[in-house]
Structures are given as structure tokens and as C-alpha cells.
Structure 1
Amino acid sequence: MTRLQGKTALITGAATGIGRAVAERFAQEGARVVIADRDGEAATATAAAIGAGARAAVMDISDESSVAAAFSALAADGWRPDVVVANAGVQLFGHDAPAAELDLDVWRRTIDVNLTGTFLTVKHAVRAMLAAGGGSIILTGSPTGLNGEGRDFTAYSASKAGIHGLARTVAAAYADRGIRVNTVVPAYTETSLVTAISSDPESRAAIIGRIPLGRAGTPDDIAGAMVFLASDDGAFATGATFAVDGGMTTI
């Protein structure tokens, strides 16, 4: 398991959940990993748990100065990333709502982190990769950005739809300079982000009932797909959307 040997990967939102699982799997595959998270203490703990091939970076993806400073510091230390996973995001359960009921502040907070934050991560990843001659960028999408799955989550769904469009545009713009951009779309995946669903048996059963494989996703399910896209095995994949959703998009 050394498909990422010699590569350096930065994963945002990597202190917990899907991001942490991806960082752990990348490290197992031989990569050096940067645990980028706005929670510096949690990022440091995750990096320590992974071991010598990991380091923490405090990064608030909604703040360009924070993103730029993190990328600059990594480059100065010889940790310029070959792979960037733009995974960090928020879902404001109890606040996000159908459009007519949605507070503007909730919309702005969600877009600032999920869409603008992903854009800023991609922007500075592209700059770093242009200097290095190429690389792989992987975005975390959502079925809510593709279909009516998120009808009660207007801001979140819109932010994820924007991410899908961003990935295709950046892939087209930089393919001739060796930069690949793809989106992985998990179905309902049980992490701390979705405690509002996982702690409610009725809500959990309803969403799992729409997954043909009959179970929730796990962070490890997503990590395997991202290893492929980060590795040379995925060298001909760009601008694509990879559903890892237990068949959810087939119904």
C-alpha cells in the first residue's frame, strides 16, 4: 500500500470525520500529510496520532490570509502539496431551511465556509501546483448539490452545487498544466457533522432507506476513492464526479 509514496497531501477539515480518515489512509499509502483545520489543538492531536509523516496547519478556509499563510509556510518548509483535498465544510442543522424561511446570516455563513472556503483552498492549491508542475485537487461534494435530496437545506445544497461547478471549471482551466480536479460525492456518511440525523432513529432510518446498499457510509468508504484520485492510477481522471453513495444516485 504505497500508491502515494513520495507525495505530500494537504487535507482541510482533517482533524475529524472524513478528513481525518482520508489523512490516515493517505499516510498508510506512503504520503506525508498536512492536517489542515481551524482547530489547531485538534489538528495537532490528529497529526501526532498519525506519526512522523504528518504535521498540523491551522487554516480558516473562509479567511484568505489564513489560507495563503498556511500554503506559504508549507512551501518554505519543503511541504508544498502535490495533492489537496478541499474537504472542510459546515452544515448548520436547525438553522438551514427552505428558502422562504432561511435567514440571510445562515446563508452567508454556509456559503462563506463551504463555497468561498473551497474556492480559496483551490485557488492557493492551484498556485502551489503551477509552481511544482502539476498535482491533484479533490473536492468533497454532496448529493444535495445534484438532486432534491437537500430540499430542507437551501444554503448547504446551494454551496455544494457551487462546488461541483467550481471543480469542472478549474479542471478545464488547468488540465493543460498538469493539474487534475475531481469531486467525490459521499451519500449520508456518519460523522460528527451529522449528529442531528444519526442521533434520531427515525431520521436515520428514513435516509438509510433511500440507500440501495442498505447502510450509512463511513469515512473509510470515501478515503479509498480519494486515494485513487490522488495517485497516479487516476492520472487520466479530471473534471469528473465520483459518487460513493451506496447507489443513492441510481434511484
Structure 2
Amino acid sequence: MSERLQGKTILVTGAASGIGRAVAEGFVAEGARVAFTDRDGAGAAEAARSAGGGSFGLTLDITDESSVEAAFAAVLERGSTLDVVVANAGVQLFGQDAPIADLDLAVWERTVAVNLTGTFLTVKHAVRAMLATGGSIVLTGSPTGLNGEGRDFTAYSSTKAGIHGLARTVAAAYADRGIRVNTVVPGYTETPLVTSISGDAGSRAAIVARTPLGRPGRPADVVGIMVYLASDESSFATGSLFRVDGGMTTL
């Protein structure tokens, strides 16, 4: 254990499973005290108990501003500044998201509510918590917001592109307050979010074939860059995209 994050308090959304959980566990291993937050409060609490290190779980629905406010207040009431926030929670509505001519308004609105508005609310309250002290905010992006990888996922791709733009805007607005904002772009990563791909041999083979490193990503693949961005080692990095996609966006 190198403890590169010793003494830091970190909040991670979507931390009950997948990338969020792996990243939160990685922060704990590096010495941080982590608030595992998720709409699945029981899952977040279980993940925090498993990770140990003084971490704790909180129920947080990123689409509900009062829930976001309450979670941030609960962290601050524990007597800590909030040093890092990872805005990771999101949805991808497989079987519902579609090319625009076939996309139902309700699917669009649900995806925007979670991915874009939810990220906005998370970042808004992260910035408020960091105005006096500075800190690092990290957003989870997607190749679908950069190229044509998500052509059949109009809503998801649009929200991820919006997240990339949000990160740049906030980074520019608050750099003078010592708040850094960056985006990590994982490639196809096998988590519970993508079981409709990982469980279908043909779909899985097709997306792996578009990944130059020749394999799907794992949640652990994202941990290293997240630790770097959470640490003081990245003190001169803001407004940037960090791609961990196996080379997918080079094609």
C-alpha cells in the first residue's frame, strides 16, 4: 500500500458496483476515507464495509437535488473537508436507447436526467463544498461522446458528450479557486451496466474487435488514472480528457 491519498476524504457516486466500486476500493487502498454513494444504499453500505478503512456508505440519488445535498452534508458533518469527488453514476438503457428516428422521448428524458442532470447536480455540490479549500473533481466519460462508437445510443452518447463539455466549462470557471476538473474515458468495460453485450458472444466479439489492445476493459483498469487524478501528483492537470479505452478512440 503506497497511501498516495492518505488523509483525503473522497465521495464516489455509483459506488455499489462496477467501475465506481473498483475506484472507491482503490482509493481506500491508497489511504483515503471514502464515501461510497449510490441509489442502492444497501449496496453502497456493503461495499464500504467490505473495503474497510473508515469508509462508509450513503444513499444518493443523483437525479434528486435534495438527495445530493443531503449526501454531501453527511460527509461534511463528519468533520472533514471534501478533497475529491468522482461523478461516476450513470445509466445506459440497452434495448431502449436507439438511433434518433426510433428514440422514445421518455428514454431520452430518463437518460438525460441521470447522466447529464445528475452529473450537473453532483458537480454543482462538489464545487460548493470545495470553494474554500480547492479539490479534484473527476467525471466518467465515454468514447461514445467522442466518436461514432455510440451511433445506436443517441441519448447515452449525447449525455456523455455533454459531460465532457461540462467538465471543461467547470474547470475553466473554478481553476482560480484551486478546483481541478478532469474526465476519464473508459472504453468498453465489463460491468453490470453492459451485460446485454458481455452476455452475447457476437456483440462482445464485435466490440472487442474494435479495441486495438484486443480485450475488454476491466473496472480495475480505470483505478490507476483515477488515483492519479485524486492525488496531488496531478496538481497541474485540469480540463483534460484521460482515455483508458484500449485504443478504441484511435480508430
**Matches of 2:197 and 2:80 in 1, distance apart?**
38
Count matched residues.
Answer: 250
Structure-2 residue corresponding to 1:14: 15
Mean CA deviation greater in 52-61 or 84-93:
52-61
**Matches of 1:135 and 1:8 in 2, distance apart?**
10
Structure-1 residue corresponding to 2:71: 70
Structure-2 residue corresponding to 1:40: 41
**Matches of 2:140 and 2:14 in 1, distance apart?**
11
8 Å CA contact retained: 2:31, 2:53: no
Mean CA deviation greater in 36-45 or 74-83:
74-83
8 Å CA contact retained: 1:71, 1:80: no
Q: Secondary structure at the match of 1:194?
A: helix
Structure-1 residue corresponding to 2:5: 4
> Aligned in 2, Cα 1:217/1:87: closer, same or farther, shift over 3 Å?
same
The within-5 A match list for 1:88-103 is 88-103=89-104
**Matches of 1:79 and 1:56 in 2, distance apart?**
16
**Matches of 2:36 and 2:22 in 1, distance apart?**
11
Structure-2 residue corresponding to 1:145: 145
Q: Secondary structure at the match of 1:246?
A: coil
> Residue by residue, what CA displacement relative to the aligned partner does 1:81-105 show, whole Å, maximum 9, x if unpaired?
2000000000000000000000000
5+ residue gaps, structure 2 = none
**Matches of 1:74 and 1:192 in 2, distance apart?**
27
> Residue by residue, what CA displacement relative to the aligned partner does 1:221-251 show, whole Å, maximum 9, x if unpaired?
0111100000011010000000001111111
Amino acid at match of 2:216: A
Percent of counterpart pairs with the same letter?
A: 72
Post-superposition offset of 1:179: 0.2
5+ residue gaps, structure 1 = none
Structure-1 residue corresponding to 2:59: 58
The within-5 A match list for 1:1-251 is 1-131=2-132, 133-251=133-251
**Matches of 1:67 and 1:214 in 2, distance apart?**
38
**Matches of 2:231 and 2:250 in 1, distance apart?**
27
**What is the Cα-based RMSD across aligned positions, in Å?**
0.7
**Matches of 1:234 and 1:76 in 2, distance apart?**
27
Q: Secondary structure at the match of 1:185?
A: strand
8 Å CA contact retained: 2:28, 2:53: no
The TM-score, its normalising length taken from structure 1, stands at 0.98
Amino acid at match of 2:121: L
**Matches of 2:164 and 2:248 in 1, distance apart?**
17
8 Å CA contact retained: 1:6, 1:30: yes
8 Å CA contact retained: 2:16, 2:36: yes
Post-superposition offset of 1:51: 1.1
8 Å CA contact retained: 2:134, 2:179: yes
Post-superposition offset of 1:80: 3.7
**Matches of 1:250 and 1:72 in 2, distance apart?**
41
**Matches of 1:170 and 1:134 in 2, distance apart?**
13
**Matches of 2:216 and 2:22 in 1, distance apart?**
16
Q: Secondary structure at the match of 2:138?
A: strand
Mean CA deviation greater in 73-82 or 105-114:
73-82
* Structure 1 runs of 4+ with >6 Å offset: none
